[in-house]
Structure 1
Amino acid sequence: MSHSGFDHLSRAALAALLPELLLCGQLIDRSGLPHAIAAFGRDGMTAIAIEEWQLASPVYTRRMQRALGFVGDDVATIFKGLQLDIGAPPQFMDFRFRVEDRDHGEFWLDHCGALMDVEPMGEDFVVAMCHTIEDPTFDATALATNAHARIRPIHRPPRRPADRHPMCAWTVTIDPANAAPPAPRNAELVAASAAAGIELGAIDTDDEGRADYRGPLLSDLRFADFSKSALVRIADEVCLQHHLLTLGFMIAVRSRLGADAASASAADTASGGACGVAAVTGGGNAAGGPSEGGGAMRLGRKHFTGIAGISSERIRAALGLGADPAALAEVLRLHPAWNPLPYTGVEITQTSDAVLLRIPHRSDAVADRAWPAMIDPDHLAPLDAMARGVNPRFVTRVVATDAHGWTVEMALAPQPFREATEVTLTRYSTGASFTFTDRGIPLPLTVL
């Protein structure tokens, strides 16, 4: 098995961490879209949200199906994919399912954290999310399983009455008469990325616990039932979902700016990986590291800063870690920004009173222009936010740089720092403080 940043965790710790990784993936939008609204207005933000999910979700849905052995073309397969999708983190986006037969089913949301976030913003934002965004993005997720699948509303917000439950309900129908839609603009860029094609370690089928998701659809996924080997692979796949969604977000942003992204630099092309993604998400410098990248890169860094801090905070709390350098080193090892390790190539070491993070100039993540490509020795705000999610006294400074990469030290300062505005903006989501509960043994959902 290829090395994973999650290998050292116990099976119980991995089971506790996985819902957090899924939820942090959903909060990526809460981090990025406020800045998209500021730059492009509500309509522009809506268009970006549609494009990022359309580009990313079919890629990562198919990856998870292959990893856990539930490749298929029926409604139950679509529902299984939703249970392992950062767009539908368990309980926060409380999907409930009914399977009528292989081609027909329904789902509804007993709780929708995303709706809780936007209802206070007014009906226009609710319609943008629950109508304009959901229609094409739900279909994009279903089409990853079957090109003839369609998801259509039974009812959805704005809620009438205001406390209506379930919050929304949808039908899923597979019909050969449904013509397969054309691929979204720029779909090939994410599909051809290094993140889309990277190979991760196989699941050890002899490991104790469930090694796959073959068999019946379950009412809930109880991650504690999976083997440690399976949980490691799921965690790495979920982190790839974060990166793929970010690639989609940046492609959508740059295409609307007309960007400094018209072409990749020769250094990007030579660095390997997904040259097509690099061409849209920005050029690099002669060492293969990120350039300033104009407005799109500035927006991307704000996006990264907000989710970096909230993710650290939630990982630390979920595992009951402290606030010292040892806790920070552990959070960094598990942070979605740095996983899977074969994709990012980062190195994390702990000294007696600090943590060192080594970021290579060349990696698949840098070639893709994912999160590691958004920082450099002159732009450390996401790293500061990440560290201060563990302890507000941490400060980051560059201690070494060479032809192969650069190293930052994260150490405690005498006084705490004020929270970054980008983190505060992300915190408006109810997901930032959401608490998971134990729902007991899940039930198989058989055809009625």
Structure 2
Amino acid sequence: MPVRSRYADLSRADLAVVVPELLLMGQLIDRSGMAWCIQAFGREEMLQIAIEEWAASSPVYTRRMQAALGYAPATPGRGDVVTIFKGLQLDIGAPPQFMDFRYTVHDAHHGEFHLDHCGALMDVEPMGEDYVRGMCHDIEDPTFDATAIASHPRAQVRPIHRPPRTPADRQPHCAWTVTIDDSHPEAEGIPALARNERSRAAGIALAPIDPTEDGAADYAGPLVTDVDFAAFSHSALVRIADEVCLQMHLLDRGFAMAVRGRAADEAQLLSLRRQQLVGAAGIGALRLARALGVTRDEAGARRVLALHPLLNPAAYVDADVPVPDGTLTVRPGPAHEDEAWISLVGPDAPDALQAIVQAVDPHLDVEVTPAGEAWTADVVRRAEPAEERPEVAVTKFSTGTDFAFEERTSLPITPV
């Protein structure tokens, strides 16, 4: 039986706020991790790490979301353009509005999308044309196709235009075609994809969606311009939140596999993984705390911990996260078997927990204690505020740190 989700305690309205926050946090993982990879291996190797991590993860989690929300193709692996576009709308690689995808469907096998705003481009454009070309050409070409082949192995995503922008303020930021054609060669996944498909994260069972609740229980209907998360039922939003957390864990597994192939030793691998985690954890906590308006005290910090992807989904990360009072307890579980984020945290490495609680208030801290095979953590208050961690400061470079979602009308997209 699936473990009850920690997101189930949130109201439907709060879940509609939290889900896009989680999607954006997933995008910011790379703003954290890739900075340290550039320092360790150089820009060219960083590009290859980014390609490998997404190609190893997005097909796995895309198929999971298809199954969870009822838009998986009737013939496995033989979806259409709408299937691909729905997957992008629920992908940490394309968080809503921050990566503002606009879709056009011509027919089942032909479509287009363009980005009215690309937050990732806004982050790298100040770094110069080489970094823009690296992201928008070297990374996007293989990773867009890797995402598309989760729906159909003969799907191809090709540019109409893309950055570097000419003129410098060109709108939209980029435009692409999506074509499914039997004449296309059938794409194959990279070796790391097969390893990720065997992970506990790939196969973990989560709580089913209750079709009797108010609100949408699936995304089986028409493709819409902007997903209205408030239109989903409570249990559907809980499931989406848990699935998005698994996307992050699967991406991190891809990151770990890619870095392991380049690291000088296990110590460097561990250091880079922890740097990536601490930066992403701190920014994610900052946005969650702000979005939910949590109190800037120990109770608020525990609430953010309970909702943070580091400790979710509950079926994957074996932990007791009491709110508003009590002690966090973490035990070995499926996430530890996968050597996921939580395996990087403990009495000798509390940094990620500290980054989370200090995003609520810099006076907060955690005291982590071993307890047999498990460990516990208590949130405490210090007299002096902690300095911002360098990993968090690096990630704050992203425009995603302060990005604000706006209300939009969700309209069906019909073929043109």
Superposed CA RMSD in Å reads 1.1
Name the counterpart of 1:159. Answer: 165
The residue matched to 1:170 in structure 2 has which SS?
strand
**Counterpart amino acid of residue 443 in structure 1:** L
Name the counterpart of 1:129. Answer: 135
The residue matched to 1:341 in structure 2 has which SS?
coil
**Alpha-carbon separation, structure 1, partners of 2:322 and 2:108:** 50
Which residue of 167, 184, 191 maps to 1:185? Answer: 191
Query: Deviations for 1:273-302, whole angstroms, at most 9, x for unmatched residues?
Result: xxxxxxxxxxxxxxxxxxxx4110011011
**Alpha-carbon separation, structure 2, partners of 1:331 and 1:381:** 16
Which residue of 101, 108, 119 maps to 2:114? Answer: 108
**Counterpart amino acid of residue 53 in structure 1:** W
The residue matched to 1:253 in structure 2 has which SS?
helix
CA contact (8 A) 2:346 2:368 kept: no
Which residue of 87, 91, 99 maps to 1:81? Answer: 87
Which residue of 392, 395, 403 maps to 2:372? Answer: 403
CA contact (8 A) 2:303 2:324 kept: no
**Counterpart amino acid of residue 402 in structure 2:** S
CA contact (8 A) 2:300 2:324 kept: no
1:235-246 aligned at under 5 Å gives the runs: 235-246=241-252
Name the counterpart of 1:278. Answer: none
What is the deviation of 1:350?
4.9
* Residues 1:323 and 2:296 are matched in the alignment: yes
CA contact (8 A) 1:350 1:356 kept: no
**Counterpart amino acid of residue 37 in structure 1:** I
Name the counterpart of 1:336. Answer: 309
Name the counterpart of 1:368. Answer: 338
Name the counterpart of 1:290. Answer: none
**Counterpart amino acid of residue 395 in structure 1:** D
Query: Deviations for 1:311-347, whole angstroms, at most 9, x for unmatched residues?
Result: 1110011011111111111111110111100100111
What is the deviation of 1:351?
7.1
What is the deviation of 1:255?
1.1
**Alpha-carbon separation, structure 2, partners of 1:350 and 1:2:** 18
* Residues 1:302 and 2:271 are matched in the alignment: no
What is the deviation of 1:367?
0.6
Name the counterpart of 1:67. Answer: 68
The residue matched to 2:316 in structure 1 has which SS?
helix
Query: What is the TM-score of this pair, normalised by structure 2?
Result: 0.97
**Alpha-carbon separation, structure 1, partners of 2:407 and 2:142:** 33
Q: Which segments of structure 1 move beyond 3 Å, counting only runs of 4 or more? A: none
**Counterpart amino acid of residue 311 in structure 2:** W
Q: Which runs of 5+ in 1 are unaligned?
A: 260-292
Which residue of 351, 357, 361 maps to 2:328? Answer: 357
Name the counterpart of 2:76. Answer: none
Q: Which runs of 5+ in 2 are unaligned?
A: 74-78
Which residue of 282, 285, 293 maps to 1:312? Answer: 285
* Residues 1:434 and 2:407 are matched in the alignment: no
Name the counterpart of 1:275. Answer: none
The residue matched to 1:344 in structure 2 has which SS?
coil
The residue matched to 1:51 in structure 2 has which SS?
helix
CA contact (8 A) 1:210 1:225 kept: yes
The residue matched to 2:360 in structure 1 has which SS?
coil
CA contact (8 A) 2:302 2:379 kept: no
Aligned length in residues: 410
The residue matched to 2:112 in structure 1 has which SS?
strand
Query: Deviations for 1:383-435, whole angstroms, at most 9, x for unmatched residues?
Result: 11111011101112223x23330111121101111000000000000001100
Name the counterpart of 2:206. Answer: 200
| Most deviating of 62-71 and 172-181 | 172-181
**Counterpart amino acid of residue 362 in structure 2:** P
| Most deviating of 120-129 and 178-187 | 178-187
C-alpha spacing 1:392/1:447, structure 2 compared with 1 (3 Å): same
**Counterpart amino acid of residue 430 in structure 1:** T
**Counterpart amino acid of residue 119 in structure 1:** E
**Counterpart amino acid of residue 356 in structure 1:** T
CA contact (8 A) 2:109 2:181 kept: yes
Query: Deviations for 1:33-66, whole angstroms, at most 9, x for unmatched residues?
Result: 0000011100010000000000000000000000
CA contact (8 A) 2:146 2:189 kept: no
C-alpha spacing 1:351/1:156, structure 2 compared with 1 (3 Å): closer
**Counterpart amino acid of residue 410 in structure 1:** V
**Alpha-carbon separation, structure 2, partners of 1:350 and 1:409:** 12
C-alpha spacing 1:159/1:351, structure 2 compared with 1 (3 Å): closer
| Most deviating of 404-413 and 40-49 | 404-413
**Alpha-carbon separation, structure 1, partners of 2:234 and 2:172:** 34
The residue matched to 2:330 in structure 1 has which SS?
strand
Name the counterpart of 2:29. Answer: 28
Name the counterpart of 1:281. Answer: none
Name the counterpart of 1:414. Answer: 383
**Counterpart amino acid of residue 300 in structure 2:** A
Name the counterpart of 1:3. Answer: 4
| Most deviating of 111-120 and 248-257 | 248-257
CA contact (8 A) 1:52 1:245 kept: yes
Query: What is the TM-score of this pair, normalised by structure 1?
Result: 0.90
**Alpha-carbon separation, structure 2, partners of 1:356 and 1:385:** 17
**Counterpart amino acid of residue 20 in structure 2:** P
The residue matched to 2:9 in structure 1 has which SS?
coil
What is the deviation of 1:349?
2.4
**Alpha-carbon separation, structure 2, partners of 1:189 and 1:337:** 21
